[in-house]
Amino acid sequence: VDLFTVCEEAGKLSAGEINRLEFPSQYFGSWYFIAAAAAGPGDPSLEAFTSMDNTRFRIQEDLQPNRLLLTARIRANNGSCMPREWIYLVTEGSTDLQTKGRTDRITELFSCTCPDCIILQETDLKVKRLLLYSRSPQLPEACVEDFKKAASCSRLKEILLLPQTQEYCEFQGN
Ligand code: MYR
């Protein structure tokens, strides 16, 4: 099959499997960062990730309504654990997310070809990237390949796979 066919069929980003009725609660809990894609080498979109060995995220309801608390534990290549925190703002009737304090940034959710993964597209003034997350630390190779295909069809050909050679950092109380 030619590239056009691949991109029309398998490679198209789709939000079809995003369950809007349960949104956002079906995404609560723990996630692992698997891969990221951007336009090309030197793209600032991937800069933040090049010194990471692995990252674990946790999503939960915030105390305020229509807000999600996103916490991360980043394991840097040098072994240190870096905690990070963001707040997502949820708009009724949409699965697009805004990041508190980053009004230019929009995060869109897309389906992944395996059941327990999700693709995020982050766009802001400087950045356009696709991010792949999974409920478990490893994803079947085929899902990662499909992610690469989807990225390539969105003209994002630079792929960064998280090395995941070190242990995951702990969340307090786990
Ligand atoms: C960043 O590094 O710029 C932020 C990364 C966001 C990570 C989100 C990981 C979990 C994705 C689950 C879907 C969330 C939908 C409410």
CATH class of the region 3-161: mainly beta
Mutate to test the pocket of ligand 1, among 57, 85, 96, 132 (most ligand atoms within 8 A of CB): 57
Please report the atom of ligand 1 found closest to the CA of residue 68. 16
Of residues 42 and 120, more confidently modeled: 120
> What's the rounded mean pLDDT across residues 106-124?
94
Cα(120) to ligand 1 centroid in Å equals 7
CA angle 34, 109, 100 (to 5 degrees): 95
Q: What is the residue extent of each domain of the chain?
A: 3-161
User: Does this complex have an ipTM over 0.85?
Assistant: yes
Please report the atom of ligand 1 found closest to the CA of residue 24. 16
Residue 21: CA count within 13 A, CB half-sphere? 0
Q: In this predicted structure, what is the pLDDT of residue 123?
A: 96
Q: What is the pLDDT of residues 141-164, one digit of tens each?
A: 999 999 999 999 999 999 999 999
CA torsion angle for 6, 7, 11, 12 (degrees, to 10)?
A: -140
> What's the rounded mean pLDDT across residues 95-114?
95
Q: In this predicted structure, what is the pLDDT of residue 41?
A: 82
Over the chain, what is the mean pLDDT? 92
Residue 59 near ligand 1, beta carbon < 6 Å: yes
Residue 31 near ligand 1, beta carbon < 6 Å: yes
Q: Whose CA is nearest to atom 13 of ligand 1?
A: 27
Q: Which of 9-18, 33-42, 66-75 has the lowest mean pLDDT?
A: 9-18
Q: In this predicted structure, what is the pLDDT of residue 21?
A: 79
Q: In this predicted structure, what is the pLDDT of residue 136?
A: 97
Mutate to test the pocket of ligand 1, among 26, 120, 128 (most ligand atoms within 8 A of CB): 120
- Give 109-135 as a 3 state SS string: EEECCCCCEEEEEEECCCCEEEEEEEC
Q: Whose CA is nearest to atom 15 of ligand 1?
A: 27
Res. 118: pLDDT tops 90: yes
Q: In this predicted structure, what is the pLDDT of residue 24?
A: 93
> What's the rounded mean pLDDT across residues 30-37?
98
Q: Whose CA is nearest to atom 7 of ligand 1?
A: 57
Q: In this predicted structure, what is the pLDDT of residue 94?
A: 92
Please report the atom of ligand 1 found closest to the CA of residue 28. 16
